[in-house]
Chain A
Amino acid sequence: MGIFTALKFRIERRKRQIRAIRKRRELTPVANRTAQIGPDAILAFLTIRNEKPRLPYFLDYYRALGVDHFLFVDNGSTDGGAEYLADQPDVSLWHTDAWYRESRFGTDWLNWLKFRYGHGHWTLTLDPDEFLVYPFCDTRPLPALCGWLDQSDIRTFGTLLLDLYPRGPLSAQTYREGDNPFEQAPWFDAANYTITKNHKYGNLWIQGGPRARAYFEDAPHEAPSLNKIPLVKWDRKFTYVSSTHMLLPRGLNRVYDEAGGEKATGCLLHAKFLDTLEDKAAEEVTRRQHFARGREYDAYYRKDAGEDGLGHHIQNASTAGNGLKRLALCQRVIGHERWLCYDGPRRPRPRRRCCTPPCRTGLPGGHSRRQTYQ
């Protein structure tokens, strides 16, 4: 790397930091309990907006895993979520009514909070629908993982954002506060992920999964990124570039091995596909505060409205027995021997591959792209 490239990236990093520091003015403290943070505390940073039903399970999950303190930015919730969080003993809460988009989807706000409170700590930067799992997470809590990373001189821990979804239409089940979301949405795609390397920042760009398959089959390059680096031993010099997909300095993005070996990685189980998504999509389509002006939400909204809606589409794929596996032991895609097994979903009989006869009649119309070759 030439000296000019290095300088260019340094300037970019500094700019982002200055931007984050300036954005601190948009945050008003509601409950600041950061004095409780001990020297070895593991911290979690989140931005939320109207996500109250998800919060109780989220907090319980991460408390059990070993997170010591949560730092939330509330972006104008109106559902009582902020009040709920302000009452929690291990939560610090800031409030803002500024635009999510102008803060680069919350990245600036959280960069500031990490700059201020995260230095020297292991930090998790999450969304309220993301649940971290990693090898042996059923017997080794987060402090064990962080201790191992420390001892191995590793500063970042990479994950795949794994979309989980229910078998039927989203609206068939109702998610209630405190429920384990994966009881309703225990299915995931095992092996349809594509990876390219982002040569600018050195991170992997992973796409695929049910969202690419159901919503972006005609424009795969627009499918959402699934590579995330949520767990970082934070230093004041670090900054996230875009959501938690990549960081600066670029060395932090090297969570993968290029010589054929496998580095230890985890998964963020993504509980997005619940019945709550349908309301959210409707709201976001008008609000336009998400990445690329909520292009993704447009797709959800459009698809949901039509005949080939999300639930419908995925339901058919699953009932035809196409090897979409339940959350269970699955080494193939993510490459781990062991998985956290939730109380909810029972482990089904392991199914190697498609073996049920195809159910042609169940296929939705308009999909006769199958032509005999000749």
Chain B
Amino acid sequence: MVIHVDKRTSDAAFFDLVARVSGVANIHLAPRIACDWGTWSLVEASRSASAYLLARAPMVRHVQLISGACLPIRPVPELVAYLDAHPDTDFIESVTTKDVTWTKGGLSEERFTLTFPFAWKRQRRLFDIWVEVQRRLGRARRAPEGLTPHMGSQWWCLTRETLERILADPNGPSYDRYFSRVWIPDEGYYATLVRRHARKIESRSLTLSKFDFQGKPHLFYDDHLAMLQTAPAFFVRKIWPGSRKLYGAFLGGLPVQQPATPRATDVDRTFDAAITRRTRGRAGLNMTGRFPNERFEGAGTAAPYAVFHGFDEIYRDFPSWTAKALGATTHGHLFAPEGVEFSDVSRDFAGGLTAAPRLRDYNPDAFLANLLRTTTPDYQTFLFAARDQQAITDFLARDAHATIAVISGTWALPLMRTGQPAQVLRRQAARLQQREVRFLELLRERRTRARVQIWNLAEVVETPAAPLRAVLNDHSVPGANALTVMPGLRDMGGLVAFLQDLRNMGMNPHTAGPVFAETRPQVRLSAQERG
């Protein structure tokens, strides 16, 4: 065993290590080299340490490179047995630059075609400028004769023969010149040279390591113990230095559990999920660490929901019908000016949302997003009307989770039902219609992402079942009861006269469409539709 200690390590720490290992016969200390992250010095260090080791330990057949942040997670005899079974195999991840998916920061092929004289960690600005200059100039260094650049994890396990051939390659100096100027040579040097010298390559690392979305290695902590005990690898990195339980379990000589079946997926699934969460997040969740800006393309809410505009003015007891038909939680007018009408008549709702209208109107978008986030996975529907607070309409139109069914012109019905003369209601009617027109325009814009269906009052009076059929087809929610009953229609007597009165007053109720006849009293479904 050979340990290389960075020359930058303090002398005190180094001599402490010397004192501790000096009594152990098979531990040697290699010549120290000052190392910088991502530079040639790392290759130099591992190369000189390998040469040192091979010279001093003639019976070594495989060499495994590990770091101070690694831990063996399987017993050493198991590793020995495994390597004995594969005497000629080099375990090193080695893939061509075109096939690599894990490079971060846009440098994959350019790692080998540009030069990188500046330290990325300390001289970031110079580094970036120099890369940009070379790109503009179209610089493309060529690999030395006989080499095809490959990349892979720098934590390899090579056979003695391969390692000796790499160290003794007659073209060594020209390779060194080339690799000393590529980006992160420790991930390229061995991966490339084994392609020239190895007899049998198994392109995977025996060291398990995981990287976050920026290419920084994930750390392992005490709570990963169970996961690591069953991981199909012999080493793991990086370990957080304070993980006493991990060090105790893997170095303390505790019996290691034999995994029934290697479960690579446990580790992979966990860390892949972490990356997805960091980069894509959970839909509709706005919080301290996530607040998508206006350019964000994803949904603003957590789950699909439906908005019914004007339906309750046509159909009797519409919310309870939707509750039965769609198996949904059906709210009343969530944005009613007097207060929130939750499905539940209690004052407050899930998550601490209250019916107080000012709290809701303070940030209607957040109100709706909160409601949907806290009620998933139940399907939510609510009623809407021209009379309600309109500040939410922008959000609704742009939310891909919204399904909006609109019956236009329904603003006329509650006005008509007040029984007051058209003269009195005219101004109010004009205002409501204006709001409705604005909403409809919004829904017809190109940037609208909600699913929208629009009928006007005249069409619905003509065929009252049409919107209901569309609703049933659109919202075939699993678990919805087979529907046999259609809701009754509310009384719309006097509608034609009322609209005519409004026209006579000089207002054009155009969103209602041409209403000529009052409706039939009962909606009927064909036998087929009854199912």
Residues of A within 8 A of B362 (CB): 194, 220-221
Contact of B351 among A141, A190, A227 (CB under 8 A): A190
Residues of chain A from 277 to 316 with CB closer than 8 A to chain B in the complex? 316
Inter-chain contact A322/B348, CB cutoff 8 Å: yes
Q: A243 → chain B, closest Cβ, in Å?
A: 16
Inter-chain contact A260/B280, CB cutoff 8 Å: yes
Q: Does A332 contact B (CB under 8 A)?
A: yes
Contact of A332 among B291, B348, B374 (CB under 8 A): B374
**Interface residues of A, CB < 8 Å — how many?**
67
Residues of B within 8 A of A5 (CB): none
Q: Does A84 contact B (CB under 8 A)?
A: no
Given contacts A136-B223, A258-B296, contact A195 B366 (CB under 8 A): yes
Q: Does A257 contact B (CB under 8 A)?
A: yes
Residues of B within 8 A of A4 (CB): none
Inter-chain contact A354/B221, CB cutoff 8 Å: no
Inter-chain contact B240/A260, CB cutoff 8 Å: no
Inter-chain contact A369/B339, CB cutoff 8 Å: yes
Residues of A within 8 A of B436 (CB): none
Given contacts A136-B221, A209-B352, A332-B351, contact A152 B296 (CB under 8 A): no
Residues of chain B from 101 to 128 with CB closer than 8 A to chain A in the complex? none
Residues of A within 8 A of B473 (CB): none
Contact of A335 among B214, B279, B285, B363 (CB under 8 A): B285
Inter-chain contact B375/A353, CB cutoff 8 Å: yes
Q: Does B186 contact A (CB under 8 A)?
A: no
Inter-chain contact B358/A220, CB cutoff 8 Å: yes
Residues of chain B from 251 to 297 with CB closer than 8 A to chain A in the complex? 277-282, 285-293, 296
Inter-chain contact B240/A333, CB cutoff 8 Å: no
Inter-chain contact B354/A255, CB cutoff 8 Å: no
Q: A97 → chain B, closest Cβ, in Å?
A: 36
The CA of A227 and the CA of B287, in the complex, are separated in Å by: 10
Q: Does B355 contact A (CB under 8 A)?
A: yes
Q: Which of B87-95, B320-328, B330-338, B390-398 faces chain A?
A: B330-338
Residues of chain B from 223 to 254 with CB closer than 8 A to chain A in the complex? 223, 240-242
Residues of chain B from 462 to 508 with CB closer than 8 A to chain A in the complex? none
Given contacts A332-B351, A360-B345, contact A217 B366 (CB under 8 A): no
Q: Does B437 contact A (CB under 8 A)?
A: no
Q: A7 → chain B, closest Cβ, in Å?
A: 21
Q: Does A345 contact B (CB under 8 A)?
A: no
Inter-chain contact B219/A148, CB cutoff 8 Å: yes
Q: Which of A152, A159, A221, A332 has the most CB of B within 10 A?
A: A332
Chain B's closest residue to A191 (CB) is: B351
The CA of A332 and the CA of B414, in the complex, are separated in Å by: 39
Q: A206 → chain B, closest Cβ, in Å?
A: 7
Inter-chain contact A354/B291, CB cutoff 8 Å: no
Contact of A192 among B277, B332, B341, B370 (CB under 8 A): B370
Contact of A260 among B296, B354, B363, B387 (CB under 8 A): B296
Q: Does B526 contact A (CB under 8 A)?
A: no
Q: Which of B216, B350, B355, B374 has the most CB of A within 10 A?
A: B350
Given contacts A261-B281, A262-B282, A262-B290, contact A194 B414 (CB under 8 A): no
Inter-chain contact A206/B349, CB cutoff 8 Å: no
The CA of A206 and the CA of B286, in the complex, are separated in Å by: 10
The CA of A123 and the CA of B37, in the complex, are separated in Å by: 27
Residues of B within 8 A of A263 (CB): 278, 289-290
Residues of B within 8 A of A172 (CB): none
Inter-chain contact B291/A197, CB cutoff 8 Å: yes
Q: A352 → chain B, closest Cβ, in Å?
A: 8
The CA of A371 and the CA of B345, in the complex, are separated in Å by: 11
1/0 per position for A134-163, CB-CB distance to B under 8 A?
001001110110011001100000111000
Q: Does B222 contact A (CB under 8 A)?
A: yes
Residues of B within 8 A of A217 (CB): 354, 356, 358-359
Q: Does A264 contact B (CB under 8 A)?
A: yes
Chain A's closest residue to B338 (CB) is: A371
Residues of A within 8 A of B66 (CB): none
Q: B292 → chain A, closest Cβ, in Å?
A: 5
1/0 per position for B291-330, CB-CB distance to A under 8 A?
1110010100000000000001000000000000000000
Q: Which of B221, B280, B347, B354 has the most CB of A within 10 A?
A: B347
Given contacts A140-B221, A191-B374, A256-B291, contact A196 B363 (CB under 8 A): yes
Inter-chain contact A353/B350, CB cutoff 8 Å: yes
Size class of the B contact interface (CB-based, 8 Å): 35 or more
Q: Does A193 contact B (CB under 8 A)?
A: yes
Given contacts A144-B240, A196-B363, A335-B285, contact A189 B290 (CB under 8 A): no
The CA of A220 and the CA of B353, in the complex, are separated in Å by: 13
Q: A153 → chain B, closest Cβ, in Å?
A: 8
Chain B's closest residue to A206 (CB) is: B288
Q: B13 → chain A, closest Cβ, in Å?
A: 14
Residues of chain A from 95 to 111 with CB closer than 8 A to chain B in the complex? none
Inter-chain contact B347/A363, CB cutoff 8 Å: yes
Inter-chain contact B242/A190, CB cutoff 8 Å: no
Chain B's closest residue to A221 (CB) is: B362
The CA of A359 and the CA of B348, in the complex, are separated in Å by: 11
Contact of A139 among B223, B336, B366 (CB under 8 A): B223
A contact face: mostly helix, strand, loop, or mixed: loop
Residues of chain A from 177 to 203 with CB closer than 8 A to chain B in the complex? 189-197
Inter-chain contact B281/A257, CB cutoff 8 Å: yes
Contact of A190 among B214, B339, B374 (CB under 8 A): B374
Inter-chain contact A373/B281, CB cutoff 8 Å: no
Residues of B within 8 A of A322 (CB): 346, 348-350, 352
Inter-chain contact A151/B216, CB cutoff 8 Å: yes
The CA of A196 and the CA of B363, in the complex, are separated in Å by: 9
Q: Does A250 contact B (CB under 8 A)?
A: no
Inter-chain contact B296/A317, CB cutoff 8 Å: no
Q: Does A81 contact B (CB under 8 A)?
A: no
Contact of A144 among B242, B355, B378 (CB under 8 A): B242
Q: Which of B221, B241, B332, B344 has the most CB of A within 10 A?
A: B344
1/0 per position for A259-276, CB-CB distance to B under 8 A?
111111100000000000
Residues of A within 8 A of B332 (CB): 373
Inter-chain contact A141/B242, CB cutoff 8 Å: yes
Q: Does A349 contact B (CB under 8 A)?
A: no
The CA of A299 and the CA of B373, in the complex, are separated in Å by: 30
Q: Does A324 contact B (CB under 8 A)?
A: yes
Residues of B within 8 A of A196 (CB): 363
The CA of A210 and the CA of B359, in the complex, are separated in Å by: 12
Chain A's closest residue to B225 (CB) is: A139
Residues of B within 8 A of A257 (CB): 278, 281, 289-292
Chain A's closest residue to B285 (CB) is: A335
Q: Does B212 contact A (CB under 8 A)?
A: yes
Residues of A within 8 A of B312 (CB): 373
Q: A59 → chain B, closest Cβ, in Å?
A: 21
Contact of B370 among A141, A191, A334 (CB under 8 A): A191
Chain A's closest residue to B343 (CB) is: A354
Q: Does B444 contact A (CB under 8 A)?
A: no
Q: Does B417 contact A (CB under 8 A)?
A: yes
Chain B's closest residue to A218 (CB) is: B358
Inter-chain contact B358/A262, CB cutoff 8 Å: no
Inter-chain contact A140/B288, CB cutoff 8 Å: no
Chain A's closest residue to B366 (CB) is: A194
Chain A's closest residue to B296 (CB) is: A260
Residues of chain B from 364 to 379 with CB closer than 8 A to chain A in the complex? 366-367, 370-371, 373-375, 378
Inter-chain contact B359/A220, CB cutoff 8 Å: yes
Inter-chain contact A323/B366, CB cutoff 8 Å: no
Given contacts A369-B338, A373-B312, could you give 16 more A-B pairs where the C-beta distance is less than 8 Å? A147-B219, A190-B350, A191-B371, A194-B366, A220-B359, A256-B288, A257-B289, A258-B293, A259-B279, A260-B290, A262-B278, A264-B289, A335-B290, A358-B345, A370-B339, A373-B385
**Interface CB pairs A-B, < 8 A, 17:** A140-B221, A148-B219, A160-B287, A190-B374, A193-B366, A193-B370, A196-B363, A210-B352, A220-B363, A256-B287, A257-B290, A258-B296, A260-B298, A317-B354, A320-B348, A322-B352, A363-B347
Ranked nearest first, the 6 interchain pairs of A and B with the lowest CB-CB distance are A191-B351, A358-B346, A189-B352, A323-B350, A265-B289, A220-B362
